[in-house]
């Protein structure tokens, strides 16, 4: 998906991410009509998180963008939260994979 005039939204997501890392954890909810690019906007905002992608690949080599988005949504990329998730639950939102791991 091409991004047009989304610079202010990406800047706001980056500002919130920096606050989460430097201050206190924050929950951010992105809402809007269907099919307007919410998921793509979030994925674009976390594109530079190569470390999170490497962690996902280490724990779940077949991870999807949805898995990565879920991990980022739940943890905000905060290292301690990522560690807790990685150590305690399967990193997938695919129910068939999750059931087979249990």
Distance (Å, whole) CA 52 – CA 7? 23
Question: What is the reported pLDDT for 81?
Answer: 83
Query: What domain range includes position 17?
Result: 7-101
Residue 64 lies in a domain: yes
Residue 46 lies in a domain: yes
Query: In 3D, which of 37, 93, 39, 43 has the Cα closest to residue 63?
Result: 93
Residue 1 lies in a domain: no
Q: What is the pTM of this model?
A: 0.47
Computed over every residue of the chain, the mean pLDDT equals 76
Residue 40 lies in a domain: yes
- Alpha carbons within 13 angstroms on the beta-carbon side of residue 15 total 6
Confidence tier at 48 by pLDDT (50, 70, 90):
low
Q: Is 60 exceeded by the pLDDT of residue 26? A: yes
Q: How many domains, in total, are found in the chain?
A: 1
């Amino acid at each position: 998906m091409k991004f047009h005039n989304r610079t202010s939204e990406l800047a706001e997501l980056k500002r919130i991410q920096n606050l989460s890392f430097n201050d206190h954890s924050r929950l951010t909810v992105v809402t809007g009509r269907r099919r307007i690019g919410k998921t793509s906007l979030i994925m674009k905002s976390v594109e530079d998180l190569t470390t999170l992608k490497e962690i996902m690949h280490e724990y779940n080599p077949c991870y999807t963008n949805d898995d990565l988005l879920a991990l980022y949504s739940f943890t905000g990329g905060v290292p301690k939260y990522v560690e807790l998730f990685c150590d305690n639950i399967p990193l997938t939102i695919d129910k068939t994979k999750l059931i087979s791991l249990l």
